A and B are shown apart, each in its own frame.
Chain A
């Protein structure tokens, strides 16, 4: 375990992000959508943390809060020892040099009127990293090579690339300022199966080579998250319900939601599927506008007891590095 304090690159404490719902002529606030409601985790150097959950569980919002694209309602985000929760826009620029983002949809996240080269090079200009034209050109070429694209493609426009190649451009743009943290928000879910592996391997290779690159990998596909992550945090309705080493996640999942989520994913092997039990959950994810009282999962939970509706259970450490928010385990 390299759970060394000095190695911590990001520490998020009790992060809350509420979006107000406005109604009426005077736009009065009538309610809050509690997208993220008390999330804490930390990330160490060169580690990948997977954030997994169904749509609306708040996983993307967590990513955006870390980038300060949303101003958190409450909580504290400490990045490389500095509290970045309430920095001014001007000071944030320096922080954002070190935190990059890869988007889900490689089709809409690249400006169609900008050449691939200038998309990748733009961060270099904004953060004044490349001082001369020669430096700029060299760095862009280098970035293209790093992600496995031919530098001569720099003059082409996004529509001339395939989905996989576009996502490589997105990765190159994220790498431009040599960040120490990249937030990957569903980076492969828009790609074809045979292309997904190319991007996953690219991300893994980059991390192996750099030795100083952490990822927050946000996805709904548990098998992909498990593959790429060192640790996985499972989210449900704005809460982290379980966080553990990715190995333990499949071998001994503890939270009933994690167990249901795992069992819902079919494994591409008919011999295993034949004997695999499925936990079929009742109903659907409740609206974060009006979440159930107590544990947010209790109305759908197959292990629920009356006490579950009393209060949201805090994360408890069960094993080294394995935390669960459930009173039934």
Chain B
């Protein structure tokens, strides 16, 4: 499949009183047409900021200071964040769903007003057509009695229903890419399952690529084709889902997989936690950010700067000096 979006060496910084926070520090990734990729990491690793940077939704004191975002042969970072080119892409070609369905809908506008706005703006539809289309979309995402519910306000809907509205809104202009930033984290498990299955079917139907940003390894294991693991503003491992889960190579990924309890694990199994804390992103040393928590470290790690992503097998990359394939002595 053809490559759709290619992010190269993206750097996003926040200038704070205590120093410059490098939230995204040289992130590169790509997504193909109709592909589902997962971006995994803990809070503060830069996964959300990297996605907001692609959309140019970073506000002061944040600033995108480097890199390229190539979408349909154009570098989006050359456009002004508020310029007409960027506005034509945002929502129409690249859409985004946020974590909090409670706060991402406007409480004083009806669903109809919020859903048709995009269609009128981007698709130049008239009000009647837009309304018809909006009802159709709500129907598709599984909102019962869509013709009636469309005139309700967000507070009339439950959390799961609001997130369905968000998905309908995200897909309303038939975008090329849908970025879902922790789309189900705030929801109950059974609702989560409903929504993820629905979202997967919808993107297949719309031929949209999907970026799932999450901390839940189970979600990406089920839905993503390729995975990027992020730590402290950088991608530390990337590869096809089965490769990453079957043969994880970066110490952080290995640790992450060992520290989560699994439903199918044996009785009495102990979890192996990753010791220590994620690093402070201000004044980061040039060495590997995972080094203080790493149980695989070798002398080279503390002497040399953080290595580049290197290939360990075709399409599987890690940012590490240690050969974790060999058993730890």
Contact = CB atoms under 8 A, between A and B. Distances in A.
A250 B263 CA distance: 7
Contacts of A196: 259-260
A264 B190 contact: yes
Nearest to B218: A266
Given A267-B218, A280-B194, A54 B263 contact: no
A222 interface: yes
A267 B277 CA distance: 25
B189 A264 contact: yes
Interface stretch (A73-81, A92-100, A268-276): A268-276
A5 B160 CA distance: 44
A280 B245 contact: no
B280 to A, nearest CB: 10
B158 interface: yes
B273 A192 contact: no
Contacts of A192: 42-43, 215, 278
Which of A196, A266, A285 gathers the greatest number of chain B CB atoms within 10 Å? A266
A265 B241 CA distance: 18
B255 A201 contact: no
B57 interface: no
Contact of B219 (A54, A247, A266): A266
B270 to A, nearest CB: 7
Interface in B39-72: 42-43
B216 interface: yes
A246 B264 CA distance: 11
Contact of A284 (B191, B255, B265): B191
Interface in B217-266: 217-219, 221-222, 241-242, 245-246, 255-257, 259-265
A84 interface: no
Contact of A197 (B246, B259, B277): B259
B50 to A, nearest CB: 18
B203 to A, nearest CB: 17
Secondary structure at chain A's binding surface: helix, strand, loop or mixed?
A: helix
Which of A55, A193, A250, A263 gathers the greatest number of chain B CB atoms within 10 Å? A193
A192 B217 CA distance: 12
A284 B158 contact: yes
A226 interface: yes
A210 interface: no
A197 B190 contact: no
B221 A269 contact: yes
Contact of B190 (A195, A224, A227, A260): A260
A242 to B, nearest CB: 15
A114 B269 CA distance: 38
Contacts of B273: 194-195, 197-198, 201
Nearest to A202: B273
A197 B43 CA distance: 16
B241 A226 contact: no
B264 to A, nearest CB: 6
Interface residues of A, number: 44
A329 B9 CA distance: 57
B197 to A, nearest CB: 6
B267 interface: yes
B35 to A, nearest CB: 15
Contacts of B263: 222-223, 226, 250, 262, 265, 267
Contacts of B197: 278, 280
A119 B273 CA distance: 26
Contacts of B222: 266, 270, 273
B271 interface: yes
Interface in B187-210: 188-194, 197
B274 interface: yes
A135 to B, nearest CB: 32
Nearest to B244: A270
Given A227-B261, A267-B218, A278-B197, A220 B241 contact: no
B261 A200 contact: yes
Interface string B150-185: 000000001011000000000000000000000000
B232 to A, nearest CB: 12
Nearest to B275: A198
A164 B191 CA distance: 28
Interface string B295-321: 000000000000000000000000000
B272 interface: yes
A269 B262 contact: yes
Contacts of B158: 284
A87 interface: no
A323 B225 CA distance: 40
Contacts of B275: 198
A194 B258 CA distance: 9
A145 B156 CA distance: 49
Interface in A189-209: 192-198, 200-201, 204
A247 B269 CA distance: 12
Nearest to B198: A280
26 contacts: A162-B277, A193-B215, A194-B42, A194-B255, A195-B273, A197-B273, A197-B274, A200-B261, A200-B271, A223-B260, A226-B261, A227-B265, A247-B267, A261-B189, A264-B189, A265-B189, A266-B216, A267-B218, A267-B221, A268-B217, A270-B221, A271-B246, A273-B221, A278-B193, A281-B193, A284-B161
Interface of A: 54-55, 162, 164, 192-198, 200-201, 204, 220-224, 226-228, 246-247, 250, 260-273, 278, 280-281, 284-285
- Closest A-B pairs by Cβ, 3 of them: A266-B218, A227-B261, A264-B193
Given A268-B217, A270-B221, A281-B194, 14 more contacts: A194-B274, A194-B278, A195-B277, A198-B275, A220-B188, A222-B263, A226-B261, A250-B264, A264-B192, A265-B263, A267-B218, A270-B245, A271-B245, A281-B190
